[in-house]
Amino acid sequence: MRVIGLSKLAQVSACLAAIMLACPADAQSQQDGTGSRTGYDTFLAIQVYAVGGGFIPFASNSNVTGADATIDPSNLLIANQSGGSSSTTPLLGARVHVPLLWRMDDEQRLAFSVFFETGLQSGFAAQSFIQTFQNTSFFAGDFGSSTVTEFYQIPLLLGFTMPVAERSASPSLLLDLYGGITLDSWAQTLQGAEANAPGQGFFGQNRRFSADPTVGVGVRMPVGDIADLPMIFGVNAELQFRPGSVVTATSPNFPVTYFGTVDPHANLAIMARIGIAFGGGRGFTLSWSLQSAAIFRRVGQEPALEEVDPGALEEYRIRPVPFDRGIVARQGAVFGYQLARAPHDSAGFCVAHTAL
């Protein structure tokens, strides 16, 4: 079989694993002797959730200003009104939760895991804020509203998970802490009419697509199976920091321009989730060997199939995929040792390797 050296991607992966996971442990596959799935396999698999809840704006404030040039275009008459009220809007969508990296304290106890989560959630064009105003222009006799409408969001989140309650080899409660950005589609609308010129009113809209910094916390727990797929229930709270916005509208009847502003503010999304797990935590394993250098061969030597001492390996799983094979790297791999693809036995140990 042809021997190939380390790719750049493999070098980077090996370095990251060495830096992040230098402390010793044996992270074996979370299966019992019969090969059946145990508790942590559920949470180390890819998970798909339906999410639903409410979207709550915090401390929203709006200002509407009328700039009137009826008397003197060089000396505008300016009037301003502020205020407004927020309302909770519905939030419904789906999330995909992907464990990227995890570490076990022992064969059946999770120390922590690192995950990525994304999805799509809709606000159904519901109105989350409104400010009504009138007479910002004496000559026009205007009246109207400044509103904020919620469309959809795409969260891009990275976080870590730790168990906060366990029973036997299964978790009864996991805590998630995470952060990232939420790509947020929303709109600010300024519209109204003028009492001193009945007929056509004024309208302006600023359709926004902002990247809102987001922090969140959540808990998850197993709740049973459906069609042999584990079900997971959870509750999350996410705080999103939205930027401000400005919209303008011009009077069709008077030399008046109306300005509406919404200040930067935080929004709280509170969601429940129910989902299923796929794959049972099987996947690629980066095994960092501190002792058994004998199982690897330098580039250029004849490839071989050899026995491996399971106790000599510290296994860390990366990117779950639905088969039990792994990539094994020697401690000195980044200095020119080849990678080997290694099959694992039913307990998750690397039992042999062949050169790639």
Tokens (6 digits) for 199: 């007929």
Residue 174's H or E segment, with its range, is strand 170-194
Query: With bands split at pLDDT 50, 70 and 90, how would you rate the model's confidence at 214?
Result: very high
**Least reliable range by pLDDT among 40-44, 152-156, 317-321:** 317-321
Query: How much is the pLDDT for 198?
Result: 83
CA 33/CA 12 separation, integer angstroms: 35
Which pLDDT does position 107 carry in this prediction?
61
The C-alpha atoms of residue 247 and residue 4 are separated, in whole angstroms, by 60
Greatest pairwise CA separation for the chain in angstroms: 93
pLDDT of 134 higher than 90: yes
pLDDT for 280: 52
What percentage of the chain carries pLDDT values higher than 70? 64
> pLDDT band at residue 279, thresholds of 50, 70 and 90?
low
pLDDT at 281 over 50: no
Per-residue model confidence (pLDDT) at position 156: 98
Q: Is the pLDDT reported for residue 291 higher than 80?
A: no
**265 has which bridge partners?**
242
Higher pLDDT: 280 or 305? It is 280
Whether 1 has a pLDDT exceeding 70, the answer reads no
- Tokens linked to 84: 């407004």
Its pTM stands at 0.70
Distance CA 116, CA 215 (A): 13
Residue 321 confidence (pLDDT):
33
Can you tell me the distance from the alpha carbon of 308 to that of 57, in angstroms, rounded to the nearest whole number?
Answer: 57
Determine the pLDDT at residue 172. Answer: 78
pLDDT value for 285 = 36
110 burial level (CB within 10 Å; 0-12, 13-18, 19+): buried
Q: Could you tell me what percent of the chain has a pLDDT over 90?
A: 54
Higher pLDDT, 352 or 149: 149
pLDDT of residue 87: 96
Average pLDDT, the chain: 76
| Residue 109 binned pLDDT confidence (cut-offs 50, 70, 90) | confident
Q: Return d(Cα 216, Cα 220) in angstroms, integer.
A: 13
Instruction: Between 234 and 228, name the one with better pLDDT.
Output: 234
What is the DSSP track for 191-245?
EEEETTS-S--EEEEEEEEEEEEEEEEEEEEEEEEETTEEEEEEEEEEEEEE--E
* 79 pLDDT tier (thresholds 50, 70, 90): very high
Tell how far CA 97 is from the center of its chain.
Answer: 8
Average pLDDT in the 16-36 region? 38
The residue with greater pLDDT, 179 or 25, is 179
Summarize the confidence of residues 290-303 as an average pLDDT.
36
As a whole number, mean pLDDT of residues 90-95 equals 98
Q: What share of the chain is helix, strand, coil (3-state, %, to 5)?
A: 10, 65, 30
Between 126 and 333, where is the model more confident?
126
Cα–Cα distance, 268 to 211 (Å, whole number): 15
